[in-house]
Structure 1
């Protein structure tokens, strides 16, 4: 079983396929490394694709201390995977929790990122919902810790931004829900407490984001309500950022709409590698409606 070891001694399981410019895929809270299978099958035709199970997600190690889980540690783990595989730079793609890690990767290690794709990221960022998000995160953590993933997964998997996937692709959604039920009870609880409930809002990072030079694509579903405004904020704040909104789509973008997602990501990467994904033209003034002089 292929593994890399982080600086603090945690073994992370990874999988890879293909050859070419590397793409690193970082999964969401409700998924694991297997959640990127539609992308590995598509992109490994011309890229070296790597996905890994975050700490707390078997077959990676599950630390027994909540202080071994944080947003900063999640970024360090992504770097450790690249280091362990001898990869200097990669396109970094993350969904939800992985999308937050991708943003922080770009802020902390812009020299290691060829591009950033931030999908379905934003929960807890809206200032009016910060307290609610932290509270519900801790409640979810408690449910995983006390009831276990197998019992709680059916509830979590029918969240307001998951039912779109269920309605469109019942078999794909069932695979997602069944996979969620296999998560480590301890790992899920500590990830929710240490990473999700403690991470900063994008608005708290505004000045840093304004200086972040990495070409960035933000993708959200139009029925993933708490990611819409954060997605627009990232678009307006990061210099070389584009925004795509998938219609009638929820949170699990890459599985719910794999053809759209793969096509969009392929075009983005092609533009980045051609040097065509540049910062916004300074003439495109946000406050201007029509030019008169």
Structure 2
């Protein structure tokens, strides 16, 4: 919400105070990690990377350097907004939180893949030791895969159907043309090396392909279909996170143009999500949406009960 609306709700806090807060603070990604450090097990979890567009359809990109045009899977076209790239971590007790993030800034001259590698090195420096890294096909470039292998990390990434593999020297096949058993196919990805290729079928005949790599080739061979499904489903938690920060954490609802003010707002929205996840993980709420639903239930009930006699009289 905007500064004016928040000041109206809080009553004793002025619009200018909120605006000064947004401009004054200098929160960094490390501050987010420090917030969640005690909530998670730093070893053995699943680390997912993905990005989402924070929609700002009516903003002027010329007035805010972080606003630009980015591809949206929801709209299937480029739309105006901010591009938020996030590392999202799920540990074994099923607690899931964002642990690092970047807001795409064209002035920095970096790609989303650059941000990904930069963030990964940071969280490992901060003490995180994930068991595996997951992402969609955007992040499955050979450069990224070799980078992860050099870090001695396993990974599960989606790949496009035209990626090529080889079972024997000099012969390459597109992944979409292959018969892939449920347990996966041990093969060689072109320009990378040994991987396990898997396919997952969805409704309406849609299929997606995934490549799995583990530093231990024996474990790679023995990993089961159920283990693949578990890792895959845990990765999709980052999509649920994206929906939650937009629907209940107000990440899209800012009315400032200054870069520092926008960055502070984004950080506060991520902190709001962490607070909800803490409440969910301690069973204070059953899901991230419960606080909002309960709030509106009380308001709507009060309104209906207050106006019901008049309505019935009419």
Provide TM-score, normalisation by structure 2: 0.33
Highest Rg: 1 or 2?
Answer: 2
Between Structure 1 and Structure 2, the one with more strand by share is 2
Provide TM-score, normalisation by structure 1: 0.35
